[in-house]
Amino acid sequence: MAKIHEFSVPALEKGEIRLGDHAGKVLLLVNTASKCGLTPQYEGLEELHRTYGERGISVIGFPCNQFGNQEPGGHEEIGAFCQRNYGVSFPISAKIEVNGKGTHPLWAYLKQEKSGFLGFSRIKWNFTKFLVDRDGKVVRRFSPTTKPEAIAAHIEKLL
């Protein structure tokens, strides 16, 4: 079975995001969308990135259009939206799928490691969050409605 640091995903603009490049850091992996009622969470995610980045956290966003067509744009539109509206400076992948036959292998792994409410593995909605420790162990899954600031205490424990 693959380990978290063996995965890579296409980056939003060019190249790849290799999780191996983030080995030894705490990871917060989030499926995102630009036209969702939860989209303002980008602000809190950016705050976590800026507050804890130097201490060893990597926040990574994964745009997904599987929930209500809430991420319909292309990579340029997504990038411009995130930068213009929320000043996002953390890495963002190209659009991926988190459920179904086209599920990206990273997200299949995350769901296998930490199931959601009542043991269901399926991602329920945009802004589901996975917290990974410095050793690459998926330690926590947070619901879409969990605000980023509520995750800060959990991050502190891992740093």
- The catalytic residues are 36
For the cut 90, the answer to whether the pLDDT of residue 65 exceeds it is: yes
For the cut 90, the answer to whether the pLDDT of residue 13 exceeds it is: no
| Calpha distance 128→74 (Å, rounded) | 21
Taken in order 74, 130, 155, 150, the sign of the CA dihedral is positive
Domain that holds residue 36: 4-158
For the cut 80, the answer to whether the pLDDT of residue 62 exceeds it is: yes
Mean pLDDT across 27-51: 97
User: Is 37 buried (19+), middle (13-18) or exposed (0-12) by CB count in 10 A?
Assistant: middle
Give the model's confidence band at 14: pLDDT under 50 very low, under 70 low, under 90 confident, else very high: confident
For the cut 80, the answer to whether the pLDDT of residue 34 exceeds it is: yes
For the cut 70, the answer to whether the pLDDT of residue 33 exceeds it is: yes
Given a contact cutoff of 8 angstroms between Cβ atoms, the answer to whether 122 and 146 are in contact is no
pLDDT for residue 121: 81
CATH number, domain of 41, equals: 3.40.30.10
18: enclosing H helix or E strand: strand 16-18
Average pLDDT, the chain: 94
pTM above 0.85, yes or no: yes
pLDDT for residue 122: 82
For the cut 60, the answer to whether the pLDDT of residue 60 exceeds it is: yes
Per the DSSP assignment, residues forming a β-bridge with 130 are: 29, 141
How many separate domains does the chain show? 1
pLDDT tens, position by position, 84-143: 999 999 999 999 999 999 999 999 999 999 876 656 688 999 999 999 999 999 999 999
pLDDT tens, position by position, 137-156: 999 999 999 999 999 999 99
